[in-house]
């Protein structure tokens, strides 16, 4: 490679690594695997070494990736939170040991000891204590400046708010989510049709870097402390001694730390960690080899990015070949049909893999996966098995192509894929697989508003087989409800009354409760007002529906397809037999002062909730929108109004205060 080619490749690699680092560190949404990123960095580092005239301080080989997220207060680290030099072979670890031994000899140091630890796959953070009390916590950021995440870190149960000694100390640790908790998080997100976390590291990072600490508190974050950054009034001779002290102070210290006297012991430690990694409750992405003597560390020093007294050995991702013997389809709680590859059992990264998700239709087509294919399997983030590729050279013509069915495999209802979405979903309202989620929605505040019938009670009713469908809610007796709780008579009476009262709800609530795709409470009100009763709505044509303001062809088609199903007709009939109201009750308002007017709400209101304002506007003939456009008539701006207010000012749209709105509705 000549100089011109090297320069071009270096520039290309810098752009790529900057882009992928931003996705990984700043957005917590990696686009390539850690191994692929590491290989790009290795290539870049080698080119910069061979062509030093093209080296730059701006290269990620010379600085730590990551920036401070907007919305967080900046924290300057008194002691930089550096990165580690990655190595990918035992030979490179031997080279490191050789360099350390040479430096020891030059400085008349007779022996060198090491500590080998697990490299925890998480987000690095510094915890600061004053007089033994936790006062501030920050992310690594770019190593010099991080984000103040004190309130978020206070939600991590394994971080002590006070330690035994009344000292000033700053420690460094790795915030992570354990394997089991990560799997449970992703399972729940899949059920709720939320985007899955790519790996445990990014799940932890995204959870810690939330602007709302309440969100962080809901995430199962943990931490292992692995270093003393700064301490006043106390000195240590060795790193191992530091860790022992931290543990006595109440810190959750990295549990895997192996004391080594020579290279042979280092190799054994790395091998042991590699063999045990599958049994660890937390994910790792390597083993860290550190010089133990703290005075010798000072002599060795650091570069701008990494300490010279440590390296991180990265384990290569283990890949295995196996065969796809079958493709099955699972229906989730929200009706999404997910393909699952059944595999010939194969051991990968310490555990036996016999199945893996194929995610969705697009993934199956992109990978071109067929029954009978030989595929390459690896574990993403040491946790989730995934198909990397199909070994097409091993095809013999007997492989069978399989598509996601357009009929639900559980209930037989039509399964559809909406344009712009990747999921194929069951549309049956009585589908057993969807029952829990449908029940939760049906009784929710925006829908039938059955107070006291929360998720836990619904699950108990299902577990005890007291309900098997939505309409069974209205056949429950007080005795059956009371059986769910000890001394549950009062609870049963209140819930029974709430169920009975819900029968008298206006029609729009029932329409909302049915969970028709694209039909929320706002559209439900429009439909109830237009058709007056459920029978009329069930018989509405696509042409008629699509002519209504705020409906459009997509919603119209969804409504028609929903009411055309036998399952829907069966449920409506049963609900009507149980006395649930099917008629529009609200009288049409004669006050149409906001007729044809569109409002946009922004900021915090003092005397109203946004829902209250929306209801008032709709009652007076107007409508609300979530975005500002030229068609907007008024922007109601409360405290801390944001970009919507700015856009309204740019477009010359009339902006009104809460007081002006109150005058308008008098």
Catalytic sites, residue numbers: 119
Q: Kind and range of the H or E element at 416?
A: strand 415-416
Considering only the C-alpha atoms of the chain, give the largest distance between any 2 of them, rounded to a whole number of Å. 96
Contact 610, 573 (CB under 8 A): no
Token pair belonging to 266: 């280092």
| DSSP code of residue 223 | E
Contact 635, 656 (CB under 8 A): yes
Q: Which residue has the tokens 């990696």?
A: 30
Rounded Cα distance, 466 and 475, in Å: 9
Token pair belonging to 481: 């409800």
Contact 375, 321 (CB under 8 A): yes
Rounded Cα distance, 91 and 97, in Å: 10
- Residue 664, Cα to own-chain centre: how many angstroms? 43
Q: Quick one: which of 304, 309, 340 has its CA closest to 325?
A: 340
Token pair belonging to 259: 């004391």
Q: What strand order describes the sheet that includes 114-120?
A: 85-87, 310-313, 284-291, 114-120, 257-260
Rounded Cα distance, 45 and 59, in Å: 9
Rounded Cα distance, 227 and 62, in Å: 22
Contact 471, 571 (CB under 8 A): yes
């Amino acid at each position: 490679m000549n100089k011109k080619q090297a320069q071009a490749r270096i520039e290309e690699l810098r752009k790529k690594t900057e882009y992928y680092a931003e996705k990984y560190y700043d957005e917590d949404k990696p686009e390539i695997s850690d191994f692929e990123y590491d290989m790009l960095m290795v290539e870049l580092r080698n080119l910069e070494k061979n062509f030093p005239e093209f080296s730059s301080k701006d290269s990620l080989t010379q600085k730590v990736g990551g920036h401070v997220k907007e919305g967080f207060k900046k924290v300057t680290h008194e002691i930089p939170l550096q990165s580690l030099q990655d190595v990918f072979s035992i030979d490179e670890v031997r080279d490191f040991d050789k360099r350390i031994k040479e430096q020891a000899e030059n400085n008349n140091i007779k022996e060198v000891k090491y500590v080998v630890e697990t490299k925890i796959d998480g987000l690095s953070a510094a915890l600061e204590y004053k007089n033994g009390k936790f006062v501030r916590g920050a992310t690594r950021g770019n190593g010099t400046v991080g984000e103040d995440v004190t309130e978020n870190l206070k939600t991590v149960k394994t971080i002590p708010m006070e330690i035994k000694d009344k000292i000033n100390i700053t420690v460094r640790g790795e915030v992570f989510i354990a394997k089991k908790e990560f799997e449970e998080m992703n399972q729940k997100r899949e059920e709720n049709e939320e985007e899955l976390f790519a790996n445990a590291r990014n799940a932890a990072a995204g959870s810690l870097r939330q602007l709302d600490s309440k969100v962080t508190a809901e995430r199962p974050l943990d931490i292992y402390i692995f270093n003393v950054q700064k301490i006043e009034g106390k000195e240590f001779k060795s790193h191992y001694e530091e860790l022992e002290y931290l543990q006595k102070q109440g810190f959750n210290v990295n549990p895997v730390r192996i004391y080594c006297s020579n290279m042979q012991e280092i190799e054994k430690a790395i091998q042991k960690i590699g063999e045990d990694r599958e049994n660890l409750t937390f994910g790792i992405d390597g083993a860290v080899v550190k010089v133990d003597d703290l005075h010798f560390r000072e002599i060795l020093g650091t570069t701008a990015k990494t300490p010279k007294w440590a390296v991180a050995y990265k384990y290569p991702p283990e890949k295995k070949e196996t065969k796809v013997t079958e493709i099955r389809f699972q229906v989730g709680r929200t009706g999404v049909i997910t393909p699952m590859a059944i595999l010939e059992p194969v051991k990968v990264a310490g555990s036996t893999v016999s199945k893996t998700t194929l995610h969705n239709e697009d993934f199956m087509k992109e990978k071109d996966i067929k029954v009978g294919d030989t595929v390459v399997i690896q574990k993403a983030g040491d946790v989730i098995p995934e198909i990397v590729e199909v070994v097409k050279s091993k095809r013999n013509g007997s492989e069978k192509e399989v598509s996601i069915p357009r009929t639900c495999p559980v209930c037989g209802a039509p399964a559809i894929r909406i344009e712009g979405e990747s999921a194929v979903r069951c549309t049956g309202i009585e589908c057993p697989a969807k029952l829990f989620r449908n029940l939760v929605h049906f009784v929710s505040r925006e829908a039938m508003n059955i107070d006291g019938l929360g998720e836990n009670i619904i699950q108990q009713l299902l577990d005890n087989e007291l309900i098997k469908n939505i309409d069974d809610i209205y056949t429950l007796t007080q005795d059956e409800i009371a059986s769910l709780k000890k001394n549950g008579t009062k609870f049963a009476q209140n819930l029974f009354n709430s169920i009975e009262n819900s029968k008298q709800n206006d029609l729009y609530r029932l329409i909302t409760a049915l969970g028709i795709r694209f039909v929320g409470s706002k559209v439900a009100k429009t439909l109830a007002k237009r058709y007056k009763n459920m029978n009329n709505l069930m018989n509405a044509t696509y042409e008629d529906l699509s002519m209504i303001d705020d409906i459009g062809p997509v919603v119209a088609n969804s409504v028609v397809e929903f009411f055309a199903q036998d399952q829907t007709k069966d449920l409506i009939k049963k609900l009507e037999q149980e006395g649930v109201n099917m008629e529009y009750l609200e009288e049409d308002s004669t006050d149409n002062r906001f007729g044809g007017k569109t409002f946009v709400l922004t900021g915090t209101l003092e005397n109203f909730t946004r829902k209250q304002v929306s209801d008032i506007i709709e009652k007076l003939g107007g409508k609300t929108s979530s975005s500002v456009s030229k068609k907007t008539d008024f922007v109601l701006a409360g405290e801390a109004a944001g970009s919507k207010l700015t856009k309204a000012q740019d477009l010359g749209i009339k902006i009104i205060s809460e007081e002006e709105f109150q005058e308008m509705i008098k």
